[in-house]
A and B are shown apart, each in its own frame.
Chain A
Amino acid sequence: MQPITLKKKKEYIESLETSSRRHSQWRDILGRLWRNKLGMVGFFIVAVILLLIILADLVAPIPYDKQNFAERFLYPNSVHLLGTDNFGRDMWSRLLFGGRISLFVAIISVCISLFVGAILGSTAGYFGGKLDTIITRILDIVMAIPGLLLAIAISAMLGSGPVNTALAISISGMPGAARLIRSTVMAIKGNEFVEAARATGSRHGRVIFKHVLPNAIAPLIVYSTMSIGGSILAISGLSFIGLGVQPPIPEWGSILMAGRPFVRDFWPMIVFPGIFIGLTLLGFNLFGDALRDALDPKLKN
Chain B
Amino acid sequence: MKVSDRRGLAMSSTGRSEGWTPVVLSGPSHGFRGRLVAIEGSDGAGKSHFVSWLMAAIGETVPCTHVLMPGEHLRSYPYWRAWNDTSYGIDRRLIDGFGLTLMAVGDRLVRQKAIIEPALKEGHLVICERFALTPLVFNSDPLFSEPLQRLFRPDLGLLFDAPSDVLIERVSARPDNAVHPQTRHDKDVEVARFRVLAESNGYVVVDTGTPNDYSGLEPLLRKLLCDNDKEDHADV
Q: Do A and B come from one complex?
A: no
Q: Which residues of A contact B (CB under 8 A)?
A: none
Which residues of B line the A interface, CB within 8 A? none
